[in-house]
């Protein structure tokens, strides 16, 4: 513990690493930081709105709460399995996709992930702009620009600051949610709402899907925030720390959304921020709640922007070889990412990005199969035995394009299309399913099974053990044996 604290205190405020492997000497942090980061990322307004949808779209309170919890646990398990990869590999999440797709082929799912997080950032910026506009008495557009500036700053500073913001957001979020729940209980007959029980498979599965999709969406970047933990950190403990923070935070936020929507008499949809703040009161109390909403969005929007930066750097490095990102390049990348998200937010703020948000949810179908393939390969096929240096070598073990991984991925996307239900696209089998989108279930189960069967027979050579880059400390200690890799 003391060593970890010393390491952390000796690190610069501005992160110098990007998609590099994190040497053991630079590892720091505690599992508690994983819990607080993901708790803070989920105690926010978009999670409240997502939970409210279960009721707005026809569900009752009782079964919506149960469905949301089941979805949190299922999706949170997938998310946490990705988180456990971070300390072992010391790498951002998406670069490990090169094992399954090839050094060039990994760009296929990564491009789609970038688009999705760009949309999530834009959507969150709209809600935060509304909160800041109310807080400072300015227009929503000015609020959006203020929020975007904060996101740029925090994303450029990087890993340590992001975790610090996560801890603060957790504290503020807990205080705000306890207060809002207390106010809600005093104004609403919660017992009466819970007594209304009209079970419907379509409404129940909708609640499960809302929560599960919410959690699975963190998969492509969750290891970005655990990769600095010491490599000997328990995978099981990492799983529970990140998973528990995310599941608890999201479920609490969605419970508030369910009760708020059920008691709003139709006044919630379209006035989400104002209605939630109105539960707490007016004047100084309202101002503090607007601040807590905006601050809560800082964490998740920064995660989206930081993850997008990692994805872009991973794509470029795949085709250009190893990429050392300077601080100026990092700033340029972040400005482009946040700038694009801000432009989308400004253009779509009055319709709450309706059509664009549907398009982003449609993109979920394109990385659910990626998640299934990545997890099956890591835990069942290679069993954590990656050749990390080969991830940067198109001529190495993993090659340029992996036909097996890409083929299963494409098939995994196609089999979901009949079951997708969004305003952007609705599949032909959705009506038969009662209007519920179960594509995420198909997108996990089918590619996972296919890849497991195929990879056991045709997977490229798996190393006998995890191979990591040689760290300078080891080279200095044993100069006669200095080489390319070290085995673990």
Concatenate the DSSP letters of all residues of 268-293 into one string.
STT-HHHHHHHHH-SHHHHHHHHHHH
Q: What is the pTM of this model?
A: 0.87
CA 151 to chain centroid, in Å, comes to 16
pLDDT over 90 (residue 244)? yes
Q: Tens of pLDDT along 298-356?
A: 888 888 888 888 888 888 888 876 667 777 888 888 899 899 989 888 887 776 545 55
Q: Mind spelling out the 3-state secondary structure of 384-426?
A: CCCECHHHHCCCCCCCCCCHHHHHHHHHHHHCCHHHCECCCCE
Q: Model confidence at 195, in pLDDT bands (50, 70, 90)?
A: confident
CB 245 within 8 A of CB 34: yes
Q: Tens of pLDDT along 436-483?
A: 888 999 999 999 999 999 998 887 778 889 898 876 444 444 544 434
Q: Tens of pLDDT along 20-48?
A: 888 998 888 889 999 999 998 898 888 88
* Percent residues over pLDDT 70 in the chain: 89
* Mean pLDDT rounded to a whole number for the chain: 85
Q: Model confidence at 229, in pLDDT bands (50, 70, 90)?
A: very high
* Percent residues over pLDDT 90 in the chain: 33
Q: Sign of dihedral through CA atoms 318, 323, 326, 327?
A: positive
CA–CA gap between residue 146 and residue 472 (Å, rounded): 42
CATH fold for the domain made of 2-354:
Hydantoin permease (1.10.4160)
CB 260 within 8 A of CB 275: yes
First to last CA, the chain: 23
């Amino acid at each position: 513990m003391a060593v970890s604290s010393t390491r952390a205190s000796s690190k610069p405020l501005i992160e110098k690493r990007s998609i590099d492997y994190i040497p053991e000497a630079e590892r720091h942090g505690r599992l508690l930081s994983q819990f607080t980061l993901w708790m803070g990322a989920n105690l926010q307004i978009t999670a409240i709105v997502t939970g409210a949808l279960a009721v707005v779209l026809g569900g009752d309170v009782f079964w919506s709460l149960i469905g949301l919890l089941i979805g949190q646990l299922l999706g949170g398990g997938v998310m946490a399995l990705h988180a456990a990869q971070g300390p072992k590999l010391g790498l951002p999440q998406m670069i490990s996709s090169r094992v399954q797709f090839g050094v060039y082929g990994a760009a296929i799912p990564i491009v789609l992930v970038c688009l999705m997080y760009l949309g999530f950032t834009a959507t969150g910026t709209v809600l935060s702009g509304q909160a800041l506009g109310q807080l400072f008495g300015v227009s929503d557009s000015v609020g959006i620009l203020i929020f975007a500036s904060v996101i740029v700053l925090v994303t450029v500073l990087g890993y340590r600051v992001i975790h610090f913001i996560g801890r603060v957001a957790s504290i503020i979020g807990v205080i705000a949610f306890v207060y809002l729940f207390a106010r809600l209980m005093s104004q609403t007959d919660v017992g009466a709402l819970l007594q209304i029980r009209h079970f419907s498979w379509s409404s129940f599965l909708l609640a499960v899907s809302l929560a599960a999709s919410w959690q699975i969406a963190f998969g492509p970047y969750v290891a970005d925030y655990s990769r600095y933990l010491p490599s000997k950190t328990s995978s099981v403990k990492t799983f529970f720390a990140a998973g528990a923070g995310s599941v608890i935070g999201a479920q609490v936020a969605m419970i508030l959304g369910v009760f708020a929507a059920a008691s709003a008499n139709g006044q919630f949809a379209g006035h989400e921020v104002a209605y939630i703040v109105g539960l707490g009161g007016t004047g100084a109390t309202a101002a503090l709640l607007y601040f807590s909403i905006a601050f809560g969005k800082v964490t998740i929007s920064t995660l989206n922007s930081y993850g997008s930066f990692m994805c872009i750097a991973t794509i470029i490095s795949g085709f250009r070889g190893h990429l050392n990102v300077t601080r100026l390049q990092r700033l340029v990348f972040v400005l482009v990412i946040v700038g694009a998200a801000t432009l989308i937010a400004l253009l779509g703020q009055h319709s709450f990005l309706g059509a664009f948000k549907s398009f982003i949810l449609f993109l979920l179908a394109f990385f659910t199969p990626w998640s299934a393939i990545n997890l099956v390969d890591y835990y069942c096929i290679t069993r954590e035995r990656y050749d990390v240096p080969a991830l940067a070598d198109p001529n190495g073990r993993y090659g340029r394009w992996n036909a097996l991984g890409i083929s299963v991925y494409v098939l995994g996307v196609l089999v979901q299309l009949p079951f997708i239900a969004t305003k952007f696209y609705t599949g032909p089998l959705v009506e038969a399913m009662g209007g519920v989108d179960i594509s995420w279930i198909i997108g996990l189960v089918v590619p996972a099974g296919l890849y497991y069967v195929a990879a056991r027979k045709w997977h490229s050579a798996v190393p006998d053990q995890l191979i990591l880059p040689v760290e300078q400390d080891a080279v200095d200690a044993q100069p006669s044996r200095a080489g390319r890799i070290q085995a673990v």
